[in-house]
Amino acid sequence: MTATPSSNHRPLALARLVQYVLALAAGLLGIVLWAHGGETLSPGEQAVRYRHALYTAIAWNVGQMRVMLDGSHDFDQARFAAAAGHVAALSPLLTDAFPTDSNLPPKSAARAEVWRDWPDFERRLAKLTAAGESLAAAAAGSDRERVRSAFADLTANCKSCHERYKQDD
């Protein structure tokens, strides 16, 4: 093959161009998948993510209330009541967040007992919702001791369920 310098150069330029196009396509595909909320995850993995997000949101609201009760932040009745209401509103969503195909350790810290003893687990979720509602009701009043005891009731639900159904707790 009689290659001139320019014809030697062309295949190289073409290879580069192909590389760029592939890189661009991969980047765009990544953005599309990301924008669609992780289509690369299996339905079970998506459920794990969903419940982690719910628990994170619940825990953040509990933390907001805790710092108002332990004195490290001023007690703001409206914010406290709103946080309690958010816990009550988010908790019922957890009942759909444990489909059977989402028993996926180690991505999930949920123990197999969640699915084996589902009626008990579901009852505990209902209790969590009720405890959030009681706390929201207490927070709407002016009896701070009632708020404290309703808050302790709420967090007792977290602890006892984790002891039984969550790894490493």
Task: Give the residues lining the site for ligand HEC (CB under 6 A).
Answer: 48, 51-52, 55-56, 58-59, 62, 87, 108-110, 114, 121, 124-125, 128, 154, 157-158, 161-162, 165-166
Q: How far apart are CA 132 and CA 124, in angstroms?
A: 12
Q: State the minimum distance, in angstroms, from the CB of residue 166 to ligand HEC.
A: 4
Nearer to ligand HEC by Cβ, of 48 and 139: the residue is 48
Largest CA distance in the chain: 94
Q: State the minimum distance, in angstroms, from the CB of residue 147 to ligand HEC.
A: 15
Nearer to ligand HEC by Cβ, of 45 and 77: the residue is 45
Q: State the minimum distance, in angstroms, from the CB of residue 141 to ligand HEC.
A: 21
Q: State the minimum distance, in angstroms, from the CB of residue 32 to ligand HEC.
A: 26
Q: Do 69 and 75 contact (CB within 8 A), yes or no? A: yes
Q: How far apart are CA 86 and CA 169, in angstroms?
A: 24
Residues ≥6 apart with Cβ < 8 Å to 163: 169
Nearer to ligand HEC by Cβ, of 23 and 156: the residue is 156
CB atoms within 10 A of CB 18: 10
- Please name every residue paired with 166 in a beta bridge, in sequence order, or none if there are none: 110
